[in-house]
Structure formats: C-alpha cells, structure tokens
Structure 1
Amino acid sequence: MKNKKKKLKILFEDKSIIVINKPSGLLTIKTDNTLEKNLYSEVYDYMHKKNKNNKIFIVHRLDRDTSGIVVFAKSEQIKRELQDNWNDTDREYVAVVHGKTKNHDIIKSYIAETKTFYNYSTNNKNEGKYAETEYELIKYNKQYSLLKVIIKTGRKNQIRVHMKDNNTPIVGDRKYGVKDNSRKMLLIANKLSFTHPVTKEKTIIELPIPKEYETLVE
C-alpha cells in the first residue's frame, strides 16, 4: 500500500514569505548525503508547481522532532532581511516535561557540541555559545508539567538541553530525556512574532496548544 502524501500545512503566505506548520519527525532541510524527505523540498515542490521559476529560501530551522512554525522567504533579499533581524523575533514554544517545574525560571548556560553531535551545557564561555531559555508553568499533574517556553537565543537543541539541565526533560525526547519510544517529542514552536520584511507591520503567527499536550497534563 502506498503512503499518502500529507498536505502541506500553510499558516500564512504572501508575495514575500510562506509560513508552514512542520510536523514532528520531519527534517526542516536535508542533511549531507541523504535523500530523506524534508520540509524544504515539500515547500519547493509546492512553489515550483505554481511557477517553475519560483524560488524558496530557508530562514531558520526546527529540530527534526520539534513541530510547529517555520518561515521561508521567496527571495534571497527577504531571507537576509529576516535573518538580520531574527534576534528581534519573539519565539515561543509549548512543551510537556517530566516532573514539576518552578512557576517561572530563566535558564542560562553556554551550549557546546561533542564530535558525536550531542549538545551539553557548560559554564565556560570559551567552550560553547551563550543560550538563554525562559519558561512559565501553565499547569501540572503528578507526572508532567505543561510549559510556555520563550527562547532569547536559538542554539541547536537549546530547549531540550536546558530542560535536561533542569531535571525535567521533555516528554518523548529520546536524545536528552527518558528512553521512551512510545511517544513523539512534545515540543512545538507555537508562536512567532516579527516585523514583516516588506509591509513593516508586526506579524503574529500562532498555533493552539495541541490537545495531546493538554490531555496528558489533566
């Protein structure tokens, strides 16, 4: 039986950008020497079908197992403008973690990477790149906490590493958390607020908290 191709989930589109809801388990863009399906190729195919001269440029990435909002630019100039102002972009996530967290906290460290691509926190600024993660507790039960997470920096695996450091790893995170293959990772990039590169208006893209997240923390 052939697998049905899932329809691209477009959250916003105009002449300069297209914003997609990436599912968990899908690479944002292919890595070297792999033909694996990825979000970039799906967006490229969508744009190419509309006009074979259309181009698409990746602005930022999400981890394979993180779901949520990803922005693509339709020209290199728009891509550069978005990336140049990316530190002014408000990026919010929602996560379900093991255990009970504080009501609010800010986690700071320098994140470094091993030769086997495992990221870890260090206090040595010469060893890693500065990372800052803020979170607020939405609700909790005996096993899990539902968190709103705001990142001040965008380091690779940042939220996952900081939740591990906090002794409250993300549910379904098999790399930095509990070895549980029964569930996908419960981390979603659910809100993005940025200045539109053309209209200069504040643009807010937001996804609701997934029902699966809410149900687990009832």
Structure 2
Amino acid sequence: MNKEIKALKKERIDLYLVFVLDETRSQIQAKIKKNLILVNNNQVKPNFVLNIGDLITIKEEEKIDYLKAINLDLEVIYEDNYLAVINKPQGLITHPGHSYQGITLINGLKYLFPKLSNFENDPLRPGVVHRLDKETSGIMIIAKDEEAHKLLKEAFQRRKIQKVYEAIVHKPFLETTFTIDLPIKRHELKRQKMAVNLEGRKALTKGFLISQTDKYSYLKLELITGRTHQLRVHLSYIGHPILGDEIYGFKKDTNRLYLHAKAITFNHPITKKELRFETKLPNYFIEKLNELRLI
C-alpha cells in the first residue's frame, strides 16, 4: 500500500525523509533510485529539493524471498561434497541484511546447491564463509557442510587462506612492490565507511605493480588480513584510490569499481589437500585495461 505525505519545509528529499521515515539516508536514496519515491507523481533524484506542499508518494517495495532459489547463471569453478568455489559477478550483494532484502548471491547459491552449511544458525548467510563487496567481482569459497564451514572460518581467522586481487588505481607508483601496514576502524562520523585509525584492527596489504601509465596503475594485491573495505581504504589512504570507487575515491570517474578477486589458495578443510583456483578478469575489466593502455 502506497503512503503519501506533504512536504512541510524546503529541503533535499533524502535528508527530509530521514526524519519522517524510520530509515537511513542510504536506504531512502536506494528507494529513490528505484523510483519507489515520487514527488508530485514525478521521478526525482536523491538531491531533489522539496518545496512546501509537494506531494511525496512512497511506494511499497515488492518483497523478495531471500532464500528462494533463483538461477543467476553463477560460474562454478570447483565443487565437492564439502564446499564449492564460485565466481561472484560485480553488482551482486553477497547476502541480505536489514538494509537490503532484494536478490543476492544467496538466491543463486540456493539454486545451485541443494545443501548449504547452516553454521551458527544464521538463516541469512547459508554457506557464506567470507564476503565480497557488492561492486567487487571474483572468487569465493562456499561451504556445504557445517564442519567444513567451521574449519574454513578458522583458516581465514588464522590467515591460512591466500587471497589475490587485481585492481586499476589512480596515479603511477614510484616502486614496483609495496606493503601497507595500517590499522583500520569504522569511521567515527560516517558509520558505513571504514578509515585508517591507530586504534583500529591490524590490516596488512601487499602490492605488486603489473603496469602503469602517467595516470593509472594496474596492480596485483595480496590481502594478508581481511578487514572490511581493506583494499579500498588502504589504497585511498596512500593516494591511489581504486578506479570507480565513489566511497573512497573520486565521484563519478567511471560507472564500475575495478577490483577483482582473482585467485585463492587454501588447504581443503577435510582432505587437507592444497587447492588453488583462479578466475579470468571480467570482459569490462579487460576492456578498461586496453582503453587505459595498461595491457
């Protein structure tokens, strides 16, 4: 059922609705972009300025069954009775949460795998051992079995799983290899962001230059620790934000984030055999490398 309210003051619509609805600004902006919020029956942008008396229509969003099996054409790189390794496409959220209950990777996993782990009884994250940001593409391990999930989680915590990423970043580097050892903590004012903070948790990133021009660099990155947004925060802090990173980099420099989880190496939790898997770069990533003359 739609809800209609009249604006009582002149203000940006996203800011105005924060105080009217029990939702965050980012949730309101997402609804505006989906055309679920109209002004005088017209589509608007999140920065639209209301006038007194404007009629705001808030449409009810269609609820998605976040555990429904949906064919998302996910690439399965490896599978056995205990785990699977998949290639997550860019633009897909890993699992639903309070701020998002639309289609996620979980729907695709439920379609592919009849059995997924239910470790720690979390119904929103069946099989999810680790996450990738929505805009990050690439390789992920999925657990089918509770024991495998537990052991994989412990391996991540003990830094026994090697994760390699590739990224396009702004500006050339003076060195061909580098290490960033800077602690990370949630931003004190902008709670959806992370930031370098001496009181934060240890975060370690290793980088290797693949190629560069006078404006951009193409990097291989090893994630030694796995903090939220670690690569994005670290690279931005040293003056080389990832291309397309609107949160930690430059606004509107491109319509995609050029960060890809390329490879992962780990010991199988049950057989103990060392496994290594690698994914190809997405076509749009290769096209951008060519466009920027990085390959």
**TM-score normalised by length of structure 2:** 0.67
* 1:24 matches 2:96: no
The residue aligned with 1:129 is 201
- Tell me if structure 2 keeps the 8 A contact 1:172–1:186: yes
Which of the residues 119, 130, 155 maps onto 1:85?
155
Q: 1:181 to 1:38 in 2, by over 3 A?
A: farther
For residue 147 of structure 1, report the CA deviation from its aligned partner.
Answer: 0.2
For residue 142 of structure 1, report the CA deviation from its aligned partner.
Answer: 2.1
The residue aligned with 2:213 is 141
Q: Which amino acid aligns with 1:138?
A: I
- Tell me if structure 1 keeps the 8 A contact 2:87–2:138: yes
Kindly indicate whether structure 1 or structure 2 has the higher relative contact order, using CA contacts under 8 Å at least 6 residues apart.
1
For residue 5 of structure 1, report the CA deviation from its aligned partner.
Answer: 5.8
**Mapping of 1:4-153 within 5 angstroms?**
6-32=72-98, 34-48=100-114, 54-56=115-117, 57-86=127-156, 87-101=159-173, 102-114=175-187, 116-122=191-197, 124=198, 127-153=199-225
Q: Which amino acid aligns with 2:182?
A: S
The structure in which a higher percent of residues are strand is 1
The whole-number CA distance in structure 1 between the counterparts of 2:116 and 2:227 is: 27
User: Which sections of structure 1, spanning at least 5 residues, go unmatched?
Assistant: 49-53
User: Which sections of structure 2, spanning at least 5 residues, go unmatched?
Assistant: 1-69, 118-126
The whole-number CA distance in structure 2 between the counterparts of 1:70 and 1:90 is: 12
The residue aligned with 1:51 is none
SS in 1 for 2:153: helix
Q: Percent identity?
A: 32
Q: 1:5 to 1:40 in 2, by over 3 A?
A: closer
For residue 213 of structure 1, report the CA deviation from its aligned partner.
Answer: 4.8
**TM-score normalised by length of structure 1:** 0.89
For residue 31 of structure 1, report the CA deviation from its aligned partner.
Answer: 1.7
Q: Which amino acid aligns with 1:117?
A: Q
The whole-number CA distance in structure 2 between the counterparts of 1:10 and 1:166 is: 35
**Larger-Rg structure:** 2
The whole-number CA distance in structure 2 between the counterparts of 1:176 and 1:143 is: 18
Q: CA RMSD in A?
A: 1.7
Equivalences, count: 207
The whole-number CA distance in structure 2 between the counterparts of 1:195 and 1:144 is: 35
The whole-number CA distance in structure 1 between the counterparts of 2:223 and 2:73 is: 29
